[in-house]
Amino acid sequence: MSSQDLSFTANVDRQFLRAVNLLDLPPGLAQQIRTCNATYTVRFPVRLRERIHVFTGYRSVHSDHITPVKGGIRYSLAVNQDEVEALAALMTYKSAVVDVPFGGSKGGLCINPNDYDDREIEQITRRFAYELIKRDLIHPSQNVPAPDMGTSAREMAWIADEYQRLHPTEMDALACVTGKPVYKSGIAGRVEATGRGIQFALREFFREPLDVKRASLSGSLEGKRVIVQGLGNVGFHAAQFLSLEDGAVITGIIERDGAIVSEAGLDVLAVKAWIEASGSIKGYPDATFLSDGASVLESDCDLLIPAALEGVIHHKNAASIKAKLIIEAANGPITAAADDILRQRGVVVIPDLYANAGGVTVSYFEWVKNLSHIRFGRMERRAQETTQTLMLSELERLSGLIGVDKWSPTDSFKANYVKGADELELVRSGLDDTMREALQAMREKWHEDERVEDLRLAAYMIAIQKIALTYQSKSLG
Sequence-separated (6 or more) residues with CB below 8 Å from residue 54: 43, 44, 45
Sequence-separated (6 or more) residues with CB below 8 Å from residue 379: none
| Angle in degrees, 0-180, between the axes of helices 193-206 and 423-448, rounded to the nearest 10 | 40
Which ranges of 248-380 would DSSP assign to H, the alpha helix? 268-278, 336-344, 352-355, 358-372
Question: Which of the ranges 216-224, 303-311, 381-389, 416-424 carries the binding residues for ligand NAD, by CB under 6 A?
Answer: 303-311
Q: Sheet harboring 38-48: ordered strands across?
A: 38-48, 51-63, 103-110, 69-76, 143-147
* Nearer CB in complex with ligand NAD: 307/452: 307
Question: Which of the ranges 132-140, 145-153, 376-384, 438-446 carries the binding residues for ligand NAD, by CB under 6 A?
Answer: 145-153
CB of 182 to ligand NAD, least distance (A): 16
Sequence-separated (6 or more) residues with CB below 8 Å from residue 316: none
CB of 437 to ligand NAD, least distance (A): 19
With CB under 6 A as the contact rule, the residue among 13, 83, 161, 255 that binds ligand NAD is: 255
* Nearer CB in complex with ligand NAD: 147/252: 147
* Nearer CB in complex with ligand NAD: 234/321: 234
Site for ligand NAD in 409-438 (CB under 6 A): none
Task: Return the residue nearest ligand NAD (CB atom).
Answer: 232
Check residue 299 for interaction with ligand NAD (CB under 6 A).
no
Question: Which of the ranges 115-123, 142-150, 214-222, 445-453 carries the binding residues for ligand NAD, by CB under 6 A?
Answer: 142-150
Check residue 305 for interaction with ligand NAD (CB under 6 A).
no
Sequence-separated (6 or more) residues with CB below 8 Å from residue 81: 39, 41, 58, 60
Check residue 150 for interaction with ligand NAD (CB under 6 A).
yes
Sequence-separated (6 or more) residues with CB below 8 Å from residue 279: none
Please confirm, yes or no, whether 106 is among the known catalytic residues. yes
With CB under 6 A as the contact rule, the residue among 184, 207, 256, 436 that binds ligand NAD is: 256
Rg (CA), the chain: 23
Which ranges of 174-297 would DSSP assign to H, the alpha helix? 193-206, 209-214, 233-246, 268-278
Strands 258-261 and 288-290, bridge-based pairing: antiparallel
Taking residues 227 to 246 in sequence order and writing x for each that binds ligand NAD by CB under 6 A, - otherwise, the string is --xxxxxxx-----------
Number of residues forming the site for ligand NAD (CB under 6 A): 24
With CB under 6 A as the contact rule, the residue among 149, 156, 157, 467 that binds ligand NAD is: 149
Q: How many Cβ atoms sit within 10 Å of the Cβ of residue 6?
A: 17
With CB under 6 A as the contact rule, the residue among 9, 194, 251, 299 that binds ligand NAD is: 194
* Nearer CB in complex with ligand NAD: 20/349: 349
Check residue 187 for interaction with ligand NAD (CB under 6 A).
no
Check residue 258 for interaction with ligand NAD (CB under 6 A).
no
Q: What sign for the dihedral angle of Cα 347, 269, 432, 191? A: negative
Check residue 86 for interaction with ligand NAD (CB under 6 A).
no
Buried b (16+ CB within 10 A) or exposed e, 216-226: ebeeebeebbb
Residue 381, sorted as left (phi over 0), alpha (psi -120 to 50) or beta, turns out to be alpha
Strands 258-261 and 225-229, bridge-based pairing: unpaired
Check residue 178 for interaction with ligand NAD (CB under 6 A).
no
With CB under 6 A as the contact rule, the residue among 271, 330, 426, 427 that binds ligand NAD is: 330
Question: Which of the ranges 58-66, 116-124, 326-334, 388-396 carries the binding residues for ligand NAD, by CB under 6 A?
Answer: 326-334
Catalytic residue among 70, 106, 224, 445: 106
Q: 421 near 432, Cβ under 8 Å? A: no
* Nearer CB in complex with ligand NAD: 34/237: 237
Check residue 356 for interaction with ligand NAD (CB under 6 A).
yes
Applying CB under 6 A, the residues found at the interface with ligand NAD are 147-150, 194, 229-235, 254-256, 293, 307-309, 329-331, 356, 359
Catalytic residue list: 106
